[in-house]
Amino acid sequence: MPIYEYRCKDCLRRISIFFRSFSEVEDPKCSNCGSLDLTRLISSFTVVKGWGDFMKDMPSWDSMTDFNEDDPRDAARMLRHWKDEMGGDIGPQGEEMIARTDAGEMMTDLADM
């Protein structure tokens, strides 16, 4: 069931058109102004990784020679890397935790969160 996105050349609106099957795809019509002069856009997409896929790409503790487990800034760097790899939103508490460890607070000091 494809959903295609278009930009109308007349009213410049971005529209999405749902088709029940690939065989039903037809010339699009702007739902705002009725124009047939549309440009198809490339839609964004997300690749979802499972927890196992994410963990297999993580370095082993033995290879993390530049990681100081007693430095909260190193923990913040690692948390930021994990966040970027997972590609998800960690919410305001997660962002606060990264900001506070980046500012030098130890993870054990974050119990008030």
pLDDT (0 to 100) of residue 9: 95
| pTM value surpassing 0.85 | no
pLDDT band, very low/low/confident/very high, at 13 (cuts 50, 70, 90): very high
pLDDT value of position 112: 62
Q: What is the pLDDT of residues 51-108, one digit of tens each?
A: 666 566 666 666 667 777 788 888 888 778 777 776 667 788 888 888 888 888 876 7
Phi/psi of residue 99, each to 5°? -65, -40
Name which of 76, 81, 88, 79 is nearest 50 in CA terms.
88
CB atoms within 10 A of CB 101: 23
Position 12 confidence tier, pLDDT thresholds 50, 70, 90:
very high
- Give 14's contacts (C-beta < 8 A, 6+ positions apart): 5, 6, 7, 8, 41
